[in-house]
Each structure stands twice: as structure tokens, then as C-alpha cells.
Amino acid sequence: MTILNKVISGKIINPPPIWLMRQAGRYLPEYRQIRAESGSFLNLCYSPKLASKVTLQPIDRFDFDAAIIFADILLIIENLGFKLDFNEKKGPVIENCLINKKINILYKEVKKSPLINIGETISLTRGKLDKNKSLIGFCGAPWTVSTYIINGGTTNSYEKCIKWAHDNYEYFMEMINLLVEISSEYLIMQVEAGADIIKIFDTWSGVLNKNDFDNWVIKPTYQIVKNVKKKFPDVKIIGFPKNAGYFYEDYIKETQVDAVAIDPDLDMLYCKNTLQKLTVIQGNVSPEVLKLGGDTMKNDIIKTLDTFSDYSFIMGLGHGVLKDTPINHVSEFVDIVRKYKRK
Ligand code: 1CP
């Protein structure tokens, strides 16, 4: 069993294992080189050889305890017939987003869609990765993915997506159910290819009220967990309902994920006294503090370890590594954690 799997199964390991969201990416020169060679971000995601190289770069450099497969949560929307592009400045762009168009399913079966390339990246990477290290597969949760489909890209007006969902409720729920179905199949393919942990990213769950959170975040996530576990009862699943605040508790109890990633906005003592009693947590140093470095970073890392190391814990960030983060801050982060002695 990998070290991360042991921790998610309830073992207390000190110092805890480490991996970071967006640990591969533009802050690494070796990533920027392969990204330039690949021509575009999508080419890179769909090229198993290059994507596998990029997945392993942060492991070679920092010796993290897990690799997360290099891909993107939005690739799946091509299966629903939407054309995805990534613009250097704007980020993801979906032409003919839902506000203008109806769903016209292009690929119902994951294995007959371009997502099959991600399975290939996973097999290639598993063959090269140390046996003690986990390979993390992932998908976006239906609500978060649907915000991009509705809006056509990143937005800062989530109220428009919420309004659209309520105004077109039946159609919206059909889309959520379709995303549950395809995402489950996609995750099952990832486990078959060699992923031993799955993460479900719900980056925009924090904009919803409790009722919508229950119906659009908790229920679809529970369905995905159920579908994956039916096929692979032992695979461990980490949920990330970012900015869900006090809704984290119901999310943990009702989705039946095996662990949750916590964002930096959550109070650490609340996490320790409440969430850590319910499940294994991963978190939650702020990516801004990692970028800043120095004593602020050092103190936050130690405080995080002091707070959470009485129970099973995975050390990481509350969100992804920022683009201009100095590489030596990441090495120092790993160094401080590995030298940590539990009080
Ligand atoms: O040109 C580039 O280098 C593109 C930048 C980039 C990268 C490196 C994007 C575009 N995606 C990724 C990789 C990625 N995305 C991974 C790989 C593995 C890793 O973590 O190292 C993962 C897991 C994601 C997940 C992802 N993509 C999420 C959920 C997690 C999160 O960060 O909140 C979301 C919301 C996306 C959408 C996305 N992909 C890329 C951009 C610029 C965006 C938009 C983000 C936004 O709307 O704010």
C-alpha cells in the first residue's frame, strides 16, 4: 500500500505525506519547456508521453508522496459536444456554451472518446512511479464543470449560472446526471489504468445555498462515489468542496468520500475539532503564503502540522500552486515538513 493510501485508511504517519494541487505547472521551467514544445495546453493534455513526463517532473524535483495526473477537469465537456479551447489570457473558452446551445452528446462512451488518452498517460506514469507513491486520478464535480458549460468559461458572476440552473431546472438536472454518468465511467477507466486515489474537484461549490449545495454538490458527488466504489470498493476518494464552510460536515457525512481537502479559509481549530473527527483531511497552507515564503510560510507550515498531526493527515495547500511561486519555496516547504518532529 502506498503511504498516502495508508493515511487515508486511517494510519497516523509523522511527518505526514505531502503533495500539492497544481504541483506540475508554469512555476517549473521544465514544465514551461514541454508546454512550449507541445504547442498548446490541450495537445499536452492529450499527449500521453508528454503529459506523463510533466506529471513526474515535480516528483523528480521535490520527491512528493503522490503524483497527480496531468490533465484538466474541463476535458470531459468535449464528450457533451462542447468545443473547448484554452486562451493564454482568458483561460478556458467554450464556444457555443449552454446559454446559446443545447447539449448534443458527442461521445457517450469514455473509452471511445479522446479521454482514452488520459488512461494511457496513467498507465505510462504508473510504470515509472515508485511503488510507495500514489498516482492520483481526478474529475471535476458536476456543479463546477456545469458552471463552465453554462457560462462558456471562467466567470465572476456565479449568480448567472445559479439563475440559469433554476430557470432551466429539468434540463440542468439532466446535464448534472449526464455528468455523473460520464464522470463515473471516466474515473473507473482511470482506476483500471493504474490510478490508486481519486480526487473530485468542486472548486465553485462555495457559491451555493444549502438547498442547492445538497442537490447539486452532495447528491451528484455521492452518486459518483457510489458508482466508482461499486466497481472498486477499495479505491480511496478525496473530495474538495472548496469554500463550502460549514457545509463541509454534511458533505463528509453524506457523500461518503474517504478524505477531504480543506481550503485556507476554514478555521484550523474547527477543522481539527470537527472535520478531522469525521474523516481524513488534506490541507491547507495558503498558496499565497507559499509564494511569499520566509518566516510567514515557515510558521504557517509548523502551525498546520502542530494542529493536525494528532490524527491521520495529508500535508498540502488549500488550493493550487500559483504561477510565480519561487521553486525554492516549494523545496523549503518539503524540507520543513520532512524534518518536523511531532510535539
Ligand atoms: O497553459 C497552461 O499551462 C494552462 C494552465 C493549466 C494547468 C497547468 C490549466 C488550465 N489546467 C492545468 C492543469 C490542471 N487543472 C490539473 C493538473 C494536475 C495538477 O493539479 O497538477 C488539475 C487537477 C486541474 C484542475 C482544474 N482545472 C480545476 C479544479 C482545481 C482548481 O484549481 O480549482 C479547475 C477549476 C480547472 C479549470 C481551468 N483549467 C485551466 C484554467 C486556467 C482553468 C480555470 C480556472 C478558473 O476558472 O479560475
pLDDT of residue 106: 79
CA 254 to ligand 1 centroid distance, Å:
27
Helix residue ranges per DSSP H, 47-195: 48-62, 116-128, 142-151, 158-167, 169-193
pLDDT band at 101 (very low <50, low <70, confident <90, very high): low
CA 287 / ligand 1 centre spacing (Å): 14
3-state secondary structure of 153: strand
| Atom 29 of ligand 1, nearest CA residue | 201
Least confident of 9-13, 153-157, 179-183: 153-157
**Span from the CA of 72 to the centroid of ligand 1 (angstroms):** 6
Q: Which long-range contacts (CB under 8 A, 24 or more apart) does 222-226 make?
A: 222/254, 222/255, 222/256, 223/180, 223/184, 224/139, 224/141, 224/142, 224/180, 224/183, 224/184, 224/187, 224/200, 225/200, 225/255, 225/256, 225/257, 226/256
Q: Enumerate domains of the chain plus CATH numbers.
A: 3-338 (3.20.20.210)
Residue % of the chain over a pLDDT of 70? 99
CA distances from 306 to 39, 124, 312 (A): 44, 37, 13
Q: Which three cell numbers stand for residue 40?
A: 498548446
Asked if pLDDT for residue 99 goes beyond 90, the answer is no
Longest dimension (CA), the chain: 58
Q: How confident is the model at residue 97 (pLDDT cuts 50, 70, 90)?
A: confident
| Residue minimizing CA distance to atom 4 of ligand 1 | 41
Ligand 1 atom at minimal distance to the Cα of residue 45: 13
Rounded distance between C-alpha atoms, residue 110 and residue 42, angstroms: 17
Q: From 73, 82, 139, give the residue whose CB has the most ligand 1 atoms within 8 Å, as the site to mutate.
A: 73
Cis peptide bond prior to 233, omega within 30° of 0: no
Whole-structure pTM value: 0.97
Nine-digit cell at 110? 469514455
Candidate of 61, 72, 158 to mutate for ligand 1, largest count of ligand atoms within 8 Å of Cβ:
72
Express each pLDDT in 276-327 by its tens digit.
999 999 999 999 999 999 999 999 999 999 999 999 999 999 999 999 999 9
pLDDT band at 151 (very low <50, low <70, confident <90, very high): very high
Assess whether the C-beta atom of 203 lies below 6 angstroms from ligand 1.
yes
CA of 203 from ligand 1 middle (Å) equals 10
How far is ligand 1, taken at its centre, from the CA of residue 338, in Å? Answer: 27
pLDDT score for 98:
77
> Ligand 1 within 6 A of 201 CB?
yes
Lowest mean pLDDT among 44-48, 152-156, 236-240: 152-156
Note the pLDDT of residue 100: 61
Query: pLDDT band for position 333 (50/70/90)?
Result: very high
Q: 98 is written with which cell numbers? A: 449552454
- Average the pLDDT over 243-253 and give the result: 98
For ligand 1, whether the C-beta of 39 sits within 6 Å is no
